Chains A and B, each alone.
Chain A
Amino acid sequence: MATRKRKRPASFYVLATLLGAYAVFLYAPMACVYVLSFQGPQGGMSFPMVGWSTHWFQVLFQGTGGQGVGDIPSAFRRSIRLALIVGVLTMIISVSAGMAYRRKFPGANFVFYSAIASMVLPGIFVGFGIALTFNLLGWRVNWFSSGIGAQLTWTLPFGMLIMFIVLGRFNPAYEEAATDLGANARQRFWMVIVPIILPGIIAITMASLTSSYEETARTQLNVGTGNTMPMEITGLLTAATSPVIFAVGTVTTFVSFSLVIASLLIMTRLAKRRSSRTAQ
């Protein structure tokens, strides 16, 4: 049956223009950064391009930029190490908390709200408070103690909230069926619950990984002597006078996108493996 194509209303064009403007506003400046990062060795921090090169990437990776370019590779390693640890810790704690909260227990609400409250506390003061407390107790702030702790105050509320939602929607009949079929608590957890909520677990880990990687407010006073990536970049922004800063932008974007694509690939592979699994 051939239906005549309906004319689009005027509002469609208005909204489409708005969306287009938004996309340009978001991505055009980024594109400038990516293009400028390939500036020639003689080029400056703005257009026009004086030839094309990967000079500023070399400067960046050698960490010999001078002029306020710090030790980016070390900062990157520090940040990634921190992010991996925080990501795994957030995953373990969130899943455990989620499992615990499927039953009511005395004080459950208090614990819940006190954990969630740290989402709305101003980060810089949380960080400051942690640093002060460490100072008061005569402990040194360090990335593996106060640093991880400070970041967890940021990633945990989100991780736990996601897990509460995921497990809140988990059909208890799955577990009852498993019990009925003879599974004990450990088998129920590993053979039924974890496989079913695996997408949620991966999401929590990736989300806390990236938010740890980007966090400064809580981290800066608590991470100890070495800078993390965001701190390094902030320093660079205020001091650098060369296109190295653009190279940093390009590399950072690349890393972020790789992470996102990697997690998407893992997810689709999981889904595929499930649907194409052939039992002998």
Chain B
Amino acid sequence: MNLSQLKPKAALPEPEKTHLKQATQGHRFDAELVAVTKSYGPGAPAVDDISLRIPRGSYCCLLGPSGCGKSTTLRMLAGHEDVTEGAILIHDEEVTHKLPVDRGTSMMFQDYALFPHLSSLDNVAFSLKVRGVATTERRKQARAYLELVQMDHLADRLPNQLSGGQQQRVALARSLITRPKVLLLDEPLSALDPFLRIKMRSELKRIQKELGISFIHVTHSQDEALALSDMIVVMNDAKIMQAAPVREVFETPTNAFVARFLGGQNVLTSDTHQVSVRTDRCRLGRSPGMRSLEGQIAMIEYQGNLVRITLQTTLGDEMTVLQSDTEYFAQNPQIGDTAVMSWHPSDEHVLDPMQAG
């Protein structure tokens, strides 16, 4: 093992949390992909010529349907997958052909991959053990990281004696102890039940802010991406559809795929343009100065403070109107009713027709 590569990690922290802060200075981007392609054979590439810059200290979500290449992208960043073409940079330094351990990245696996024969503490201490750090020293440091994820009270447990959420915390500590510049998370919340998922995602966000490093998080859940991200990268068919700050991706999707995948948008044709209109800006009923579309109410979902009404248009498209509950109870529409959906022309956002999903 090349010890000089470990230098940035050599100065290890005292157990106080403030000293766990891992951000460093003096670079432009935490991670950068330059025209990266990954192909496994003669067929269509798994990742097709993508470029991406992730600003410092960002929580970045790679979002897309399964098979879109988001996991492959993450694994290339981690160094667990070779890059066919292109370059990968971490902290402005090229790492395309470096070993995973020499990149300054650390990966948290989907099923956590905690070593089943080691206690939580020894799992966390593993990376120090392979570097030859003495037992008492590495356990002391590992304990500090278990404290960061509030797992120090279960330090002696084996992974199979921990719940999913607890295993995830241990996995997180095990990754963070390597003092990564960028933490890579492969669908970290998918194995958890919905309640824990929401709890753990705020935990992830808290730790990311505390450490000040970038997290790159692969997910197929729009909610998760919206809740966590500073930056969202929407992928489809091996390509990046849109990479932008979360608000921009939600409010001004570049094309129909992004608009549909993020949800919260109706994609429709207006003046021969394909446009998106936010579902919460659409209303039932005709009003002067507003554009409209006729259809039949196919579904009504009561969600408490909001009500989601699905309209089947005469052309067979499905449109959604998101109403406040007050508005809904005032109008009281019924399934099967003929209804008109209307929206203000200024709420239309023109989509890029080239990449209609």
The residues of A with any CB-CB pair to B shorter than 8 Å are 171, 173-174, 176-184, 187, 191-192, 195-196, 274-275, 277-280
- Taking the nearest CB of chain A, how far is it from the CB of B164, in angstroms? 15
Interface contact B122-A279, CB-CB below 8 Å? yes
Q: What is the CA–CA distance of A182 and B115 in the complex, to the nearest angstrom?
A: 14
- Taking the nearest CB of chain B, how far is it from the CB of A274, in angstroms? 6
B131 interface residue per 8 A CB criterion:
yes
With CB as the reference atom, state the residue of chain B lying closest to A273: B117
B323 interface residue per 8 A CB criterion:
no
Q: What is the CA–CA distance of A25 and B114 in the complex, to the nearest angstrom?
A: 48
Contacts of B156 in A (CB 8 A): 277-279
**A182-B127, A279-B155 are contacts. A171–B111 as well, Cβ < 8 Å?**
yes
B113 interface residue per 8 A CB criterion:
yes
**A279-B139, A279-B156 are contacts. A181–B113 as well, Cβ < 8 Å?**
no
With CB as the reference atom, state the residue of chain B lying closest to A183: B130
Contacts of B205 in A (CB 8 A): none
With CB as the reference atom, state the residue of chain B lying closest to A192: B115
- Taking the nearest CB of chain B, how far is it from the CB of A167, in angstroms? 15
Interface contact B161-A274, CB-CB below 8 Å? no
Interface contact B115-A196, CB-CB below 8 Å? yes
Interface contact B113-A196, CB-CB below 8 Å? no
- Taking the nearest CB of chain B, how far is it from the CB of A212, in angstroms? 29
Q: What is the CA–CA distance of A179 and B155 in the complex, to the nearest angstrom?
A: 23
- Taking the nearest CB of chain A, how far is it from the CB of B101, in angstroms? 4
Contacts of B130 in A (CB 8 A): 178, 181-184, 187, 191
Contacts of B116 in A (CB 8 A): 196
Partner of A180, one of B78, B129, B161: B78
Q: Mark B87-122, 1 if CB is under 8 A from A, else 0.
A: 000000000000111000011011101111101011
Question: A-B contact count, CB below 8 Å?
Answer: 77
Residue contacts A-B, CB under 8 angstroms, 12 given: A177-B107, A177-B109, A179-B80, A180-B78, A181-B101, A182-B131, A184-B130, A191-B126, A191-B129, A191-B130, A195-B115, A277-B156
**A174-B113, A176-B109, A279-B119 are contacts. A181–B126 as well, Cβ < 8 Å?**
yes
Q: What is the CA–CA distance of A171 and B155 in the complex, to the nearest angstrom?
A: 24
Contacts of A277 in B (CB 8 A): 119, 156, 158
A-B contact sample (6 more), CB < 8 A, given A177-B109, A182-B178, A280-B135: A173-B111, A176-B107, A181-B101, A187-B130, A191-B130, A192-B115
| Contact residues, B162-197 vs A (CB, 8 A) | 174-175, 178
Contacts of A179 in B (CB 8 A): 80, 99-101
- Taking the nearest CB of chain A, how far is it from the CB of B163, in angstroms? 16
Q: What is the CA–CA distance of A195 and B101 in the complex, to the nearest angstrom?
A: 22
Interface contact A171-B113, CB-CB below 8 Å? yes
B136 interface residue per 8 A CB criterion:
yes
Contacts of A183 in B (CB 8 A): 126, 130
Partner of B127, one of A173, A181, A274: A181
Q: What is the CA–CA distance of A180 and B177 in the complex, to the nearest angstrom?
A: 12
Partner of B101, one of A171, A180, A191, A192: A180
Q: What is the CA–CA distance of A275 and B99 in the complex, to the nearest angstrom?
A: 34
- Taking the nearest CB of chain B, how far is it from the CB of A4, in angstroms? 37
- Taking the nearest CB of chain A, how far is it from the CB of B73, in angstroms? 16
With CB as the reference atom, state the residue of chain A lying closest to B117: A195
